[in-house]
A and B are shown apart, each in its own frame.
Chain A
Amino acid sequence: MKMKLSNEDISSVRVRQIERISGEDVRKCYQCGNCSGGCPVSFEMEIPPSQVVRFLQLGRVDEVMAANSMWVCVGCLQCYSRCPKGVSVAAMLEALRQTVLRKGEDFEKIKDLPYPFLKKAPQQALVCGFRKFVS
């Protein structure tokens, strides 16, 4: 992989937007990798948590938007809980989701969900899932 970096990338407006929504400052992360080490779904993520932050530091929003990371984050807050710098990758991932959902683009279609699941699942799973996946 080769990246061509420019001043525009580093001061990307889109990253500032993610920062605004998430309330986080991407520069605070010193890339220690603790979040990626502890994230229970790291194995499933196309870009692990610390690299999500790295890409944002570099202004590469497209790369993280294309990855599944934000959709498989379970919001367990282990990343935030153990980050020595007090950075919440969880909040950044939620901000990324929000930028999609706020445009009205759904990640899940409610009508496609299997009936047995809708019937048996705890209400909280449905409500929470809708909040994470549906605009």
Chain B
Amino acid sequence: MPRIGVFVCQCGNNIASTVDTKKVAGEMSKLPGVVFTCDYKFMCSSPGQEMLKQAIKENKLDGVIVSACSPHMHEKTFRKASEAAGLNPYQCEITNIREQCSWVHHDKTRATGTVKSIDLTRMTIERLKRNKPLKKIKIPVRKKALVIGGGIAGIQAALDIAEGGRDVILVEKEPSIGGNMARLSETFPTMDCSQCILTPKMVEAELNERITLYTYSEVEKVDGYIGNFTVQIRRKSKYVDEDRCTGCGECIEKCPFKVESQFELNLTKRKVIYTPFPQSVPNVPVIDAPNCPKIQKDKCGACAIACGPKCIDFKMQDKIVTEEVGAIVVATGYQLMPNERFGEYGYGRIKDVISGMQFERLASSSGPTGGEIRRPSDGKVPQSVVFIQCVGSRDEKKGVSYCSKVCCMYTAKHTMLYSHKVHGGQAYVFYMDIRSGGKRYEEFVRKAIEHDNAMYLRGRVSRVYEKDGRVVVQGADTLSGSQVEIEADMVVLATAIVSREGADTLAQRLGIGYDKDKFYNEYHPKLRPVETVTAGIFLAGTCMGPMDIPESVAQGSAAASKVLALFSADEMAREPITSVVNRATCNACWDCLTACPYSAIERESVKDRQGNIVRWLAKVNEGVCQGCGVCVAACRSKSIDLRGYTDEQVYAAINAF
């Protein structure tokens, strides 16, 4: 006969207000096999846990049930306490009588809640009676990390992991690391020059011996599980031998062809062999193959002639490299919503309507105008500039529903940069709300208004059109209740921050979740902000949603510390709630294999003495299995069971109902 103890928690009034816990305990004591029952105000408190331990010892319990809140909350707590009292931790089960019972019933007579709690607890007792003691699964950890995306978040994560003494591979799809921050001129709220604070970090990443940089590369395939990932990385052909290139730049000099520069957001042109920007890391040019006449039709070849060390190879092919890593940090960043979507703002049609990021380039001393604010159409210095905030943000109809979070701040920054660079120039800002919740952020915006004389108008702009070489902005100032029209020389749109194109494909490859806007989901938005539901894969920066540099950096460091914690032991323990195949009855139909959302099922062959394959069997990779139970439902021959939730246990629970 089992010796079971039942502990019913009142959770203050959370449970007790609609459940008569004493009665529940009383009813349970009548059941066969139950040798101890009690109810208590807070089971999770220290005295509560002590009581549990004591009861286990004193009554020689071989199984306990805590009827309390969701197992998500305190299953760990009570299993730990049970273990401390000498019980196999998996002999402790939770009945959820709070989220699934007391909170959803409002019957103050406590009739419904009590009856339901009794039913639920009785079901758990029957399940517990059929429990088998389980042991944690130990898996080895490969202590090398992969960081995907070399923006500031990814760079920070890589540096911190390397600092912690572990090897890192940093994969960046562009020819240089740096990401969007490399485009910025000065940065709020301290106005330090973006390149000046970013470049040292980029160089550090390049020089650090523990960091391997794979630029111009993308992750193609990810297999395995926490501690044991195998990734395939495509290293796109740069047509330049990275090891021998000295970065002298002769090739770029001699290349006779120019195309629009993506880095400069089409504000200027670059050569066909190029580095995105002067401080690129690594300082190795790449050939833009689709635009290179030598590669396309065997004409030119000027760069190869110019190159001293002869490291240009027009026949170079993409390479696939395979790496084994124990953890992955995803830091793939953001992009901006295409402004063309807003026909009324004239972007793409009116040359002097530009995006905020283009303004960053105009203001940047390494940008196409050398840091002078000149408008694209005719190069004149604009005497009045209208900034329009929330373009595409907070716009359910044509854009995205969320707030892009950084544009209020960078617009204020833009007005300051503008007023410093163009004396006498007037900045106008159309805004709906000013969101400046950060350390010294509000003061920063006020400074733009009070010190740098930016004219803030509360209202959206309805349309922008051209008239006599000027750009007319028609909008509203809702504070005065009037329609306003401003004839300006240039208009800057603070465009919405959106997820990267292809963010969903990468997420599917990695097996991590994303939201309706294709930003990656954190495990828990408050308590586990840099983890994903897939163990061993972490997040950092704007791939999760709009944020500024300080936050991106903090997240990079946070993800790194998670990785280092994971790498601190040689083996890691996993919950043993995994499925297991009955080798006698499995007929290898592979229904489970197709059903498993985590790709945890593998094909196993059974061989005879001669080594001929005589049979195939499904096999569960315990490192990957999340214990979701989908395979159990899919298996037609009932050959898979989930540990802790076997068919036998579940049926027993149902029968007890």
Which A residues contact B (CB, under 8 angstroms)?
30-39, 42-43, 47-48, 50-51, 78, 82-86
Please state if A31 and B394 are interface contacts (CB–CB under 8 Å): no
How long is the Cα–Cα vector from A42 to B484 in the complex, in angstroms?
A: 10
Query: CB distance B461 to A39 under 8 Å?
Result: no
- Inter-chain contact A78/B462, CB cutoff 8 Å: yes
A-B contacts, 19 listed (Cβ < 8 Å):
A31-B432, A32-B432, A32-B459, A33-B460, A34-B459, A34-B460, A35-B476, A36-B481, A36-B482, A37-B459, A37-B475, A37-B484, A38-B463, A39-B483, A47-B481, A48-B482, A51-B481, A84-B395, A86-B397
Pairwise interchain contact B397-A48, C-beta atoms closer than 8 A: no
Residues of B in contact with A, size category: 20 to 34
Question: Is B322 engaged at the interface, CB distance under 8 Å to the other chain?
Answer: no
Chain A residue at minimal CB-CB distance from B482: A48
Contact status A33-B463, CB under 8 Å: no
Chain A residue with Cβ nearest B459: A33
Chain A: minimal CB distance from B491 (Å): 14
Specify which of A47, A48, A83 is in contact with B476 (CB 8 Å cutoff).
A48
| A60 → B minimal CB distance (Å) | 14
The reply to whether the CB of B367 lies closer than 8 angstroms to some CB of chain A is no
Interface residue? B396 (CB, 8 A): yes
Inter-chain contact A37/B483, CB cutoff 8 Å: yes
Please tell me which one of the listed residues A32, A48, A78, A84 contacts residue B483 in the complex, with CB atoms under 8 A apart: A48
Contact status of A48 and B481, CB under 8 A, knowing A33-B460, A37-B462, A38-B474: yes
Write the nearest CB–CB distance from A101 to chain B, whole angstroms. Answer: 27
Whether the Cβ atoms of A84 and B394 lie closer than 8 Å is yes
Residues of chain B contacted by A78 (CB below 8 angstroms): 462
Q: How far is the CA of A48 from the CA of B399 in the complex (A)?
A: 25
Q: Please give, as numbers and ranges, the residues of chain A lying within 8 Å of B398 by CB-CB distance.
A: 84
Give the Cβ gap from B488 to chain A, nearest Cβ, in Å: 15
Q: Which residue from chain B places its CB closest to the CB of A79 in the assembled complex?
A: B462
Q: Decide: A33 near B475, CB < 8 A? Known: A38-B462, A39-B483, A48-B481.
A: yes
A30/B432 in contact, CB under 8 A: yes
Query: At the interface, yes or no: B288 with Cβ under 8 Å from chain A?
Result: no
Give the residue name and chain of the A residue nearest to B461 (CB). A37
Chain B residues near A82: list those with CB within 8 A.
344, 462-463
A66 vs chain B, min Cβ distance (A) = 16
B80 at the interface (CB under 8 A from A): no
- How far in angstroms is the closest Cβ of chain A from B261? 32
Instruction: Give residues of chain B (84-131) contacting chain A, Cβ–Cβ below 8 Å.
Output: none
Contact A36 B483 (CB under 8 A): yes
Closest chain B residue, CB of each to CB of A32 = B460
Partner of A84, one of B396, B459, B474, B478: B396
**How many Å from the CB of A119 to the closest CB on chain B?**
36
A86 touches B481 (CB 8 A): no
Contact with A along B550-594 (1 / 0, CB 8 A): 000000000000000000000000000000000000000000000
Residues of B within 8 A of A48 (CB): 476, 481-483
B452 in contact (CB, < 8 A) = no
Closest to A45 in B: B483
Question: B463 — which chain A residues lie within 8 A by C-beta?
Answer: 37-38, 82
- Is residue B470 within 8 Å, beta carbon to beta carbon, of the partner chain? no
Q: Is the CB of A34 within 8 A of B461?
A: yes
B residues 365-400 in Cβ contact with A at 8 Å: 390, 394-399
Contacts of B395 in A (CB 8 A): 84
Q: Does B242 interact with chain A (Cβ within 8 Å)?
A: no
B456 to chain A minimum Cβ distance, whole angstroms, is 13
Q: Are A34 and B476 in contact (CB under 8 A)?
A: yes
Q: Looking at the complex, which one of A34, A43, A86 makes contact with B462 (CB distance below 8 Å)?
A: A34
Known A51-B481, A78-B462; further 8 A-B contacts with Cβ < 8 A: A31-B432, A36-B478, A36-B481, A36-B483, A37-B475, A37-B484, A48-B481, A50-B459
Q: Mark B453-467, 1 if CB is under 8 A from A, else 0.
A: 000001111110000
Q: Quick check: is B477 within 8 A (CB to CB) of the other chain?
A: yes
A25–B192 Cα gap in the complex (Å)? 46
Residue of B nearest to A49 (CB): B476
Q: Which of B437-494 contact A (CB under 8 A)?
A: 458-463, 474-478, 481-484
Residues of A within 8 A of B462 (CB): 34-35, 37-39, 78, 82
CB distance from B187 to the nearest CB of A (A): 28
Q: In the complex, how many angstroms separate the beta carbon of B482 from the nearest chain A beta carbon?
A: 7
Chain B residues near A30 (CB-CB < 8 A) = 394, 432
Q: Looking at B395, B398, B477, which has the most chain A CB atoms within 10 Å of its CB?
A: B395
Contact A31 B478 (CB under 8 A): yes
Fill in one digit per residue for B520-549: 1 if any A CB lies within 8 Å of its CB, else 0: 000000000000000000000000000000
Nearest-Cβ distance from residue A99 to partner chain B, whole angstroms: 23
Whole-angstrom CA separation of A38 from B390 in the bound complex = 17
A37 touches B474 (CB 8 A): yes
Residues of chain A within 8 A of B461, CB atoms compared: 34, 37
* A-B interface, 7 closest residue pairs, ranked by CB to CB distance from nearest: A38-B462, A33-B459, A33-B476, A37-B462, A84-B395, A37-B476, A34-B460
Residue in chain A with minimal CB distance to B457: A33
Q: How far is the CB of B379 from chain A (nearest CB, A)?
A: 30
List the B side residues contacting A39 at CB < 8 Å: 462, 483
Whether the pair A86, B460 counts as a contact (CB closer than 8 A) is no
Q: Which residues of B contact A83 (CB under 8 A)?
A: 397
- Min distance, Cβ A19 to any Cβ of chain B, angstroms: 19
Closest chain-A Cβ to B106's Cβ sits at a distance in Å of 25
Cα–Cα distance between A54 and B59 once the two chains are bound (Å): 69
B458 and A86 form a contact (CB under 8 A): no
A41 to B, closest residue via Cβ? B483
Residues of B within 8 A of A85 (CB): 396-397
- B399 touching A84, Cβ below 8 Å: yes
**Shortest beta-carbon distance, B304 to chain A, in Å?**
53
Q: How far is the CA of A25 from the CA of B597 in the complex (A)?
A: 42
Query: Taking CB as reference atom, which chain A residue is nearest B395?
Result: A84
CA distance A48 to B461 in the complex (A): 15
CB distance from B375 to the nearest CB of A (A): 23
